[in-house]
A and B are shown apart, each in its own frame.
Chain A
Amino acid sequence: MQESSDITARDAPRRDMQALLDATVDAVILIDHRGRIETFNRSGERLFGYRAEELIGRNVSVLMTERDRDSHDAYMHRYMSTGVPHIIGVGREVDARRKDGSVFPVFLSVGRIHESHPPRFVGLLHDITLRREAMAAIRRERDRANMYLEMAQVILVALSADCRIQLINRKGCDTLGWREVDLLGRDWLEAAVPPQQREMVRGQFARLDRKGGDSEVYCEHDVLVAGGGRRLVAWRCIALRNLEGQVVGYFSSGEDITVRRAIEQSVERTRSLLNEAQEIGNIGNFEVHVPHTGVEFWSPQLHRIFGLDPVADRLSLEVMRAAVHPEDSAHQAADWRQAIEAPGSHASEFRIVTPAGAVRYVRSIYNTSPGNEGSMRIAGTILDVTVAKQAEEDARVAQQRMTHVSRLATMGEMAAGIAHELNQPLAAITNYASAARRLVAAGQDPDDVRLALEQIAGQALRAGEIIRRLRGLVQNRETRREQADVNDLVAEVVSFSLSDARLHDVRIRAELAADLPPLSLDRIQVQQIILNLLRNAIEALAERPASDREIVVHTAREAGGAVTIAVQDNGPGVPDAVVARIFDPFCTTKETGTGLGLAISRTIAEAHQGKLVYEPRPGRPGACFVLRLPCQSPGSAE
């Protein structure tokens, strides 16, 4: 109180003090040693809503909350008894209470007025409501940022300029398998980067240093996982710089791409295996929508099949259509239309012409199904069958050649008979001519001369007919289907074999059915089968006495409509041991046989959708071979 009297006594300093008190934004309160308010400035009035007169003489605790009031009393009491200050010169945050009872935060600084006895105190209360709020906002912001950091499914790492870990989020910790405390402050490269990759990572940081600004560096490297193992992480790093632009640290966000990379690699591997398989198999695939929806796929191998570059060229429905061979475009288009109209599985074979002019055979199999937006989805494969077609063609030519050779072989076996057959008319002609010459020279009987000349002409025709038939069988020619009367065909080949049969004392009897329909077939090839069967029968009959060698050629129509031609002999039949193999190539029971006759005969039969079988008749001796030819419905003939 002494000092107070001194101040009151001196007027000028008092005015200065009053100005100071009025100017300050903080509430300034002077209290005596009992806590009674002596002075309360303007800012105090504004902050607390009291007028100074209302407070002077009242205990300062009226400005405090209940909680602070008790602690204030305790503090005051302690200070008074011990003299140890706890707050003086330090200040603390307390809650203040306005006249209206509302509470607000203030920063309280307390000082003891110099040399006051009993002591008097000055308190400065700075309204920290705004600061509190700002702090709270900052805290909230920080908490949220922290939450983001923690929640983020990317690894976030902040490093110092010397690569010490300053911050690492939960994802980072989880990925590395360490607790945050284990990592903070450690050298990032040592802690997390495999030795072999450290140089590379260091290089990336150096790049960041050089680049300046807020440029970003992307890199991928493994990180070491606690307890062994690695994860592959894709990093984006930036350098943190101070105002002078010096690097003060690095901030990296990383994504664990171990699984994604494995999936990507697996997808890539699958794709590359598929491409490889397509290349090896020479098969491509595609997906299109009609009408076009923008979704389409044409595999690389499909491009190659079409003679296009998978990278540089673009396949499309239009390109594909344009590549179809002109002769096949009509049926390919028809197949395509049908596929679009009827969802399901379809197939089409056609030729394409590559830009280089090469013709390729392709077989396309595709599924059509309703797609999005009312379009039809067509997904399919296109297989290059050129090689197979070529092989097929080669096989066909070889087969034809074999067929011909086999026919020639059979004919060769029949040569004696054929020569004999031809010799007869020639002998007759010679005789008639000689006779005519003599008759004319002798001036005899003109009727006989005329008869001779007529006979010469007739026999020449007979010889010509034999040669005509012979030539037909000897020719090597393309397979040719034509409508043929089976009986007529059989009769012709039987008559052709008669001389051979006669040579071997074999009788051939023909039993021809009357009601056979005409069949579309290759006349010569079917005759070849019968010729071969007759030839075999004639040989087989050599074991029979000459007086009892007979072949019956029998034609019939079966219940199912098939036409059969059976060649039955009364020889020994095919031995049981051989039956299973008689149609195998090179299976022969003859000393000079090629073993091809029956094999080729069967092939011919099958080419006619028919069958050639060994069917000995029960109760009848000898072999019986049956050629069964299907009766084509009109129009189905090839």
Chain B
Amino acid sequence: MNRIPTVHVVDDDDAVRSSLRLLLKSVGLPTVTYESARDFLAGYESEQPGCLVLDVRMPGMSGPELQEELNRRGAMIPVIFVTGHGDIPMAVEAMQHGAFDFLQKPFRDQDLITRVQKALELDAQNRAELREASLIRERYESLTPREREVFQLVTDGKANKVMAGDLGVSQRTVEIHRARVMEKMGAKSLAQLVRMAMDLGRPSGA
């Protein structure tokens, strides 16, 4: 699989599609174009980093419908909507549904390129965050049940003495567990451990 960030362009208009490809190619951005939303869904793999330049108006599945489908599938690819004249309300709605940005046709090349690059950066960042989150979960899952209890209490801000009382163990034992949790989670500070706890709490909803 190609892990080079790629720009995906979905537009039913041949000329618009091919002009976008040439424009993105001229700034060295790898581009794949699709004639319809279905074509894109058929060819897209979520591991593929990149961004999506998506036409709002298309026969069959429209841009917003594709966005909805992607959201449903949990795909995190940033979407830049390209709208024709008069599609502003629809674009606004798309933004509310998590679109990265939108551009009105015709647009300045730099506007598109800037947005595409930002979208790619966001995607890279998202993917990095996603990778970190899964690492933290991995580490979390390596904790023993007692250690998880300590992790929970520590990140809740409880003092060792309180924890010892809650758990019915000596303060010393609490300190040993706590050191192991810090070690296993790779946390260099309590603050870092607290952020990990928050990260762990967030993706659980996804």
Q: Report whether B86 and A502 are in contact in the complex, using a CB–CB cutoff of 8 Å.
A: no
Q: Report whether A425 and B15 are in contact in the complex, using a CB–CB cutoff of 8 Å.
A: yes
B201 at the interface (CB under 8 A from A): no
When C-beta atoms are compared, the residue in chain A nearest to B22 turns out to be A435
Binds A, one of B44-52, B101-109, B177-185: B101-109
Task: Please report the C-alpha to C-alpha distance between residue A608 and residue B69 in the assembled complex, in whole angstroms.
Answer: 51
Task: Please report the C-alpha to C-alpha distance between residue A434 and residue B106 in the assembled complex, in whole angstroms.
Answer: 11
Chain B interface main SS type: loop
Assuming the A-B contacts A424-B15, A438-B27, A444-B26, are A431 and B59 also in contact, with contact meaning beta carbons closer than 8 angstroms in the complex?
Answer: no
* B 17-44 binary contact with A (CB < 8 Å = 1; else 0): 0111011011100000000000000000
| Inter-chain CB contacts under 8 Å: number | 95
Q: Report whether B105 and A435 are in contact in the complex, using a CB–CB cutoff of 8 Å.
A: no
Task: Please report the C-alpha to C-alpha distance between residue A448 and residue B22 in the assembled complex, in whole angstroms.
Answer: 7
Contact residues in B for A217 (Cβ distance below 8 Å): none
Contact residues in B for A425 (Cβ distance below 8 Å): 15
Q: Report whether A429 and B25 are in contact in the complex, using a CB–CB cutoff of 8 Å.
A: no
Task: Please report the C-alpha to C-alpha distance between residue A217 and residue B64 in the assembled complex, in whole angstroms.
Answer: 113
Assuming the A-B contacts A431-B106, A438-B109, A455-B15, are A419 and B84 also in contact, with contact meaning beta carbons closer than 8 angstroms in the complex?
Answer: yes
| Cβ-neighbour of A416 out of B25, B82, B85 (below 8 A) | B85
Q: Report whether A430 and B85 are in contact in the complex, using a CB–CB cutoff of 8 Å.
A: no
| Cβ-neighbour of B16 out of A424, A437, A452, A503 (below 8 A) | A424
Q: Report whether A434 and B85 are in contact in the complex, using a CB–CB cutoff of 8 Å.
A: no
Task: Please report the C-alpha to C-alpha distance between residue A442 and residue B28 in the assembled complex, in whole angstroms.
Answer: 10
| Cβ-neighbour of B13 out of A428, A435, A442 (below 8 A) | A428
Q: Which residues 421-465 in A have Cβ within 8 Å of B in the complex?
A: 422-432, 434-439, 442, 444, 448, 451-452, 455, 458-459, 462
Contact residues in A for B59 (Cβ distance below 8 Å): 502, 505, 507
| Cβ-neighbour of A435 out of B58, B82, B109 (below 8 A) | B109
Q: Report whether B105 and A424 are in contact in the complex, using a CB–CB cutoff of 8 Å.
A: yes
Q: Report whether A431 and B84 are in contact in the complex, using a CB–CB cutoff of 8 Å.
A: no
| Cβ-neighbour of A452 out of B22, B27, B85 (below 8 A) | B22
When C-beta atoms are compared, the residue in chain B nearest to A462 turns out to be B15
Assuming the A-B contacts A455-B18, A507-B59, are A423 and B23 also in contact, with contact meaning beta carbons closer than 8 angstroms in the complex?
Answer: no
Q: Report whether A430 and B22 are in contact in the complex, using a CB–CB cutoff of 8 Å.
A: no
When C-beta atoms are compared, the residue in chain A nearest to B26 turns out to be A438
Q: Measured between C-beta atoms, what is the minimum distance from A593 to chain B in Å?
A: 19
Q: Report whether A423 and B106 are in contact in the complex, using a CB–CB cutoff of 8 Å.
A: yes
Q: Measured between C-beta atoms, what is the minimum distance from A213 to chain B in Å?
A: 109
Q: Measured between C-beta atoms, what is the minimum distance from A503 to chain B in Å?
A: 6
B171 at the interface (CB under 8 A from A): no
B160 at the interface (CB under 8 A from A): no
Q: Report whether B22 and A429 are in contact in the complex, using a CB–CB cutoff of 8 Å.
A: no
Chain A interface main SS type: helix
B62 at the interface (CB under 8 A from A): yes
B115 at the interface (CB under 8 A from A): no
Q: Measured between C-beta atoms, what is the minimum distance from B8 to chain A in Å?
A: 16
Contact residues in B for A436 (Cβ distance below 8 Å): 26
A33 at the interface (CB under 8 A from B): no
Q: Measured between C-beta atoms, what is the minimum distance from A499 to chain B in Å?
A: 9
Q: Report whether A427 and B26 are in contact in the complex, using a CB–CB cutoff of 8 Å.
A: no
A420 at the interface (CB under 8 A from B): yes
Assuming the A-B contacts A419-B85, A435-B109, are A427 and B19 also in contact, with contact meaning beta carbons closer than 8 angstroms in the complex?
Answer: yes
Contact residues in A for B23 (Cβ distance below 8 Å): 431-432, 434-435, 438
B57 at the interface (CB under 8 A from A): yes
Q: Report whether A423 and B62 are in contact in the complex, using a CB–CB cutoff of 8 Å.
A: no
Q: Report whether B26 and A423 are in contact in the complex, using a CB–CB cutoff of 8 Å.
A: no
Task: Please report the C-alpha to C-alpha distance between residue A253 and residue B75 in the assembled complex, in whole angstroms.
Answer: 129
Task: Please report the C-alpha to C-alpha distance between residue A452 and residue B22 in the assembled complex, in whole angstroms.
Answer: 8
Q: Report whether A423 and B19 are in contact in the complex, using a CB–CB cutoff of 8 Å.
A: no
Assuming the A-B contacts A426-B105, A426-B106, A430-B106, are A420 and B86 also in contact, with contact meaning beta carbons closer than 8 angstroms in the complex?
Answer: yes
Q: Report whether A430 and B57 are in contact in the complex, using a CB–CB cutoff of 8 Å.
A: no
Task: Please report the C-alpha to C-alpha distance between residue A83 and residue B82 in the assembled complex, in whole angstroms.
Answer: 169
Q: Measured between C-beta atoms, what is the minimum distance from A56 to chain B in Å?
A: 163
Task: Please report the C-alpha to C-alpha distance between residue A426 and residue B105 in the assembled complex, in whole angstroms.
Answer: 8
| Cβ-neighbour of B105 out of A423, A455, A546 (below 8 A) | A423
Task: Please report the C-alpha to C-alpha distance between residue A437 and residue B18 in the assembled complex, in whole angstroms.
Answer: 16
Task: Please report the C-alpha to C-alpha distance between residue A429 and residue B85 in the assembled complex, in whole angstroms.
Answer: 16
Q: Report whether B15 and A428 are in contact in the complex, using a CB–CB cutoff of 8 Å.
A: yes
Contact residues in B for A424 (Cβ distance below 8 Å): 13, 15-16, 84, 105
Q: A416-B86, A424-B84, A455-B15 are in contact. List 12 more A-B contacts (CB 8 A).
A: A420-B86, A427-B19, A428-B15, A431-B23, A431-B109, A432-B19, A434-B23, A455-B18, A502-B57, A502-B58, A503-B57, A546-B62
B residues with CB within 8 A of A:
13, 15-16, 18-20, 22-23, 25-27, 57-60, 62, 82, 84-87, 105-109
What are some 30 contacts across the A-B interface (CB < 8 A)? Answer: A416-B85, A419-B84, A422-B85, A423-B84, A423-B106, A424-B13, A424-B84, A426-B106, A427-B16, A427-B19, A428-B15, A428-B19, A429-B19, A430-B107, A430-B108, A430-B109, A432-B19, A434-B108, A435-B19, A435-B22, A435-B23, A438-B26, A438-B27, A438-B109, A439-B26, A444-B26, A448-B22, A455-B19, A503-B86, A547-B60
